[in-house]
Amino acid sequence: MAYKPPSQTIVDNATASVPSSEAVFEELKLKANASLNNLSNTGTENQVLKWTSGAPTWGSAPAPSPLAQTTVTLTDAATISVNAASGNIFRVTLGGNRTLGNPSGATDGQMLHFEIKQDGSGGRTLAFDTKYRFSADVVSPTLSTGANKLDRLLFIYRSADDKFDCLAVNKGF
């Protein structure tokens, strides 16, 4: 289908002149203003202006969408596997002394929140694989050792270094 500029009929694509983008924009602005002038100012603070069927109308505002996080239960093993593509919050109950494996599938800037829980016996330790990095301010933690105690660790992935930097450690829940 050939382009039909405002107020001009195209007979032959080879000889037709196309108006400037400014002219097209001005005609669109005039049509939009005419439609808006016909719209009553009856919207409330809980409504939004919607463009439906070629004309503006007031409608219900969409419900806010919380930033839902996906929680993943990790499998307890000698080395605990983490697939960062599957979520952001990871839970595991330690049944022995373990190593938290290097996550796969992470994207730059992705936050990983780990909930590490002691089993009913407690006293379990957790080592961190090679891509976890700690700082002078947030050092590699010694977990709470009490039975059924929960510790939380927060990491952010930095793809330039291919490292997971620890931002926070909260122990003893």
Predicted model pTM:
0.62
What span, in angstroms and rounded, lies between the C-alpha atoms of 148 and 154? 20
CA dihedral 137, 142, 146, 148 (to 10 degrees): 80
For range 97-106, the mean pLDDT? 97
DSSP E strands in 37-119: the ranges are 47-52, 55-60, 71-73, 79-80, 89-94, 98-100, 111-118
pLDDT tens profile 14-58: 555 556 666 666 666 666 666 556 555 555 555 555 666 666 666
**CB distance 148 to 116 below 8 Å:** no
Could you count the other beta carbons within 10 Å of the beta carbon of residue 114? Answer: 21
